[in-house]
Amino acid sequence: MMDVEPGCRFCLANALLVDTPILDTEHFYMLGSIDPMVPVAGMLIPKRHSDDPFGLSPVEWADFGNALAAAKAHFAPRKPDGFTLGWNVGAVAGQHVFHAHLHVIPRFRGEPNEGVGIRRVLRTPSWAANA
């Protein structure tokens, strides 16, 4: 039986999703973006509840490559020029739903944030500017 966290909106058994998964593998499913600021994006989510990716099992990690390849194939018709992939782990890192999920964001030449990736956070952390 899958681990389920009562009240977790990403645990499928709780039936709390506001949208329908757009793909799945043995251990993961993907939701499309419902954020109007990032309309072309998705989240890969493990079917078993884990607060963060550090709790994923070796079997889940073995299937993760399949899930990531399926996500890339899903976005291929849009012909992205790159991708930004990211996990937020913990509230201080921006995690709002405490069920592991990887953000998959196709990137396109000419978009307003072209060239801006997750490294910007590491280059100029907000706390450093006030130190």
Residues 60-80 pLDDT 10s? 999 999 999 999 999 999 999
| Contact (Cβ atoms closer than 8 angstroms) between residue 33 and residue 103 | no
Q: Cβ neighbours of residue 73 under 8 Å, at least 6 residues apart?
A: none
CB neighbour class for 84 (10 Å; exposed up to 12, middle 13-18, buried from 19): middle
Residue given tokens 């998959």 in the structure block? 104
Average pLDDT of the segment spanning 106-130: 71
| Contact (Cβ atoms closer than 8 angstroms) between residue 74 and residue 42 | yes
Compute how many other C-beta atoms are within 10 angstroms of the C-beta atom of residue 106. Answer: 21
Nearest to 83 by CA among 103, 99, 55: 103
pLDDT tens readout for residues 15-38: 999 999 999 999 999 999 988 888
Q: How far apart are CA 115 and CA 131, in angstroms?
A: 27
Residue given tokens 């009562």 in the structure block? 6
Judge whether residue 108 has pLDDT over 70: yes
pLDDT tens readout for residues 39-66: 899 999 999 999 999 999 999 999 999 9
Tell me the pTM.
0.88
Contacts for 88-93 with beta carbons within 8 Å, 24 or more apart?
89/52, 89/53, 89/54, 90/52
Judge whether residue 131 has pLDDT over 50: no
**pLDDT of the residue at 1:** 44
Higher pLDDT, 3 or 81: 81
